[in-house]
């Protein structure tokens, strides 16, 4: 889950991006390759971006509410010679913010370093399952986790002997990652009734998040695993290079989010400007707009599932609301909240929910998800291809 970034999403022209308090707004969603944070910015995350906080070292924002409480608790703890980070974590826990997290200075630095498009980890993505346990949502092909036979749906019980149940996904991600390739990490895993331990060696992995394939009748499959740095432009290029009039199957299954700016750029490939989403930050309404010049002629089907989260839901909702795509699959995860990171007195960072986003028609996503136009679970991709064939080019 998580990748940082510096909110450079473009709003509707000719307006420029507003950096707020120079902090990065974040859609938290986490990729365990390390992590990925749905962020409002232009950089990438730990193994794939999909969700970590980002704050510039020289940035500061007025702290209030839970963030202010965390800062006060940290300051008091420091004055008493106690752990500021632990005090801040307790304050965040009391706030009731299910997505709230506190990162040490070192953890936060690792998330920021992940923005270079590569990371050191084991190549797996994780998410919190409905029962609160940590579940592997996807594994990176050829990575240490995949080579060890770990697969999507496996439950992660522990990392180096530390139980992960109840921990924030971002914290689990930080345990999986490391500074150097070749260092060992022991995972406690569960699959059905089988429980076992696996010792992996971390590796330096890339965050390539997009794959393109040709389908029958000239249609093009664009599979986006996460919205990491450059993925939005890669979607635009894949659409531009598709044969004239060919349909696009946009596969967002298992996409746990990432950089909102990249999701907006991806939307710009398929719409001609206009509203992508609205969001509120502490009661102030803001909007995200696509750039003009997108391809509005070819038929589009978006394929989603319960692992489609955050920035990927933002894109899905925009295409559905604007009549630009038929959505096929199962209901999406329902992660539509906005987090903002704040630097604490000891250098750690508290990431807390400050608002929520809505689709162009005003639908809330958080806790609800997006309902497909056509429900399909088994054989969903084949159904999506059939729908795409039936749409044909617009008349």
Active-site residue list = 310, 335
> Distance (Å, rounded) from C-alpha 379 to C-alpha 70?
47
Structure tokens at 314: 């933002």
Q: What 3-state class would DSSP assign to 245?
A: coil
Dihedral of alpha carbons 310, 142, 130, 97, sign: negative
Using alpha carbons only, what angle is made at residue 184 by residues 182 and 188, rounded to the nearest 5 degrees?
A: 145
Torsions phi, psi for 266 (to 5 deg): -65, -40
H or E element in which residue 389 lies:
helix 380-391
Contact criterion met (CB below 8 Å) for 263 and 311:
yes
175: left (phi over 0), alpha (psi -120 to 50) or beta: alpha
Question: Which alpha helices (DSSP H) does 49-192 contain, by range?
Answer: 65-79, 84-95, 105-113, 144-147, 169-176
CA atoms in the 13 A half-sphere facing the CB of 210: 24
75 prior amide bond cis, ω within 30? no
């Amino acid at each position: 889950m998580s990748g940082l970034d510096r909110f450079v999403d473009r709003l509707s022209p000719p307006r420029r991006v507003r950096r707020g308090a120079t902090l990065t707004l974040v859609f938290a969603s986490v990729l365990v390759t390390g992590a990925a944070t749905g962020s409002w910015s232009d950089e990438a995350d730990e193994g794939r971006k999909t969700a970590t906080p980002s704050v510039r070292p020289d940035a500061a924002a007025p702290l209030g509410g839970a963030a202010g409480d965390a800062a006060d608790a940290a300051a008091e703890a420091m004055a008493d010679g106690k752990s500021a980070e632990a005090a801040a974590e307790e304050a965040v826990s009391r706030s009731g913010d299910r997505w709230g997290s506190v990162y040490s200075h070192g953890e936060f630095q690792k998330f920021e370093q992940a923005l270079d498009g590569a990371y050191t980890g084991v190549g797996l993505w994780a998410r919190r399952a409905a029962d609160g346990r940590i579940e592997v949502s996807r594994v990176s092909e050829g990575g240490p986790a995949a080579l060890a036979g770990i697969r999507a749906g496996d439950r992660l019980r522990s990392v180096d002997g530390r139980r992960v149940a109840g921990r924030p996904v971002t914290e689990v991600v930080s345990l999986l990652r490391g500074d150097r390739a070749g260092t060992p990490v022991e995972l406690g895993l569960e699959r059905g009734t089988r429980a076992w331990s696996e010792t992996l060696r971390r590796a330096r992995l890339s965050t390539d998040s997009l794959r393109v394939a040709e389908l029958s009748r000239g249609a093009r499959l664009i599979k986006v695993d996460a919205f990491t740095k450059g993925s939005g432009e890669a979607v635009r290029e894949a659409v531009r290079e598709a044969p004239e009039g060919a349909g696009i199957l946009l596969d967002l299954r298992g996409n746990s989010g990432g950089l909102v700016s990249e999701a907006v750029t991806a939307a710009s490939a398929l719409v001609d400007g206009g509203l992508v989403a609205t969001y509120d930050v502490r009661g102030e309404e803001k909007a995200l707009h696509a750039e003009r010049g997108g391809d509005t002629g070819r038929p589009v089907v978006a394929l989603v599932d319960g692992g489609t989260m955050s920035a990927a839901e933002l894109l899905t909702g925009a295409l559905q609301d604007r009549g630009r795509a038929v959505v096929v699959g199962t209901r999406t995860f329902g992660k539509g909240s906005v987090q903002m990171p704040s630097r604490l007195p000891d250098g750690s960072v508290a990431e807390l929910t400050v608002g929520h986003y809505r689709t162009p028609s005003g639908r809330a996503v958080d806790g609800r998800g997006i309902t497909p136009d056509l429900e399909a679970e088994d054989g969903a991709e084949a159904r999506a291809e059939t729908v795409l064939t039936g749409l044909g080019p617009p008349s």
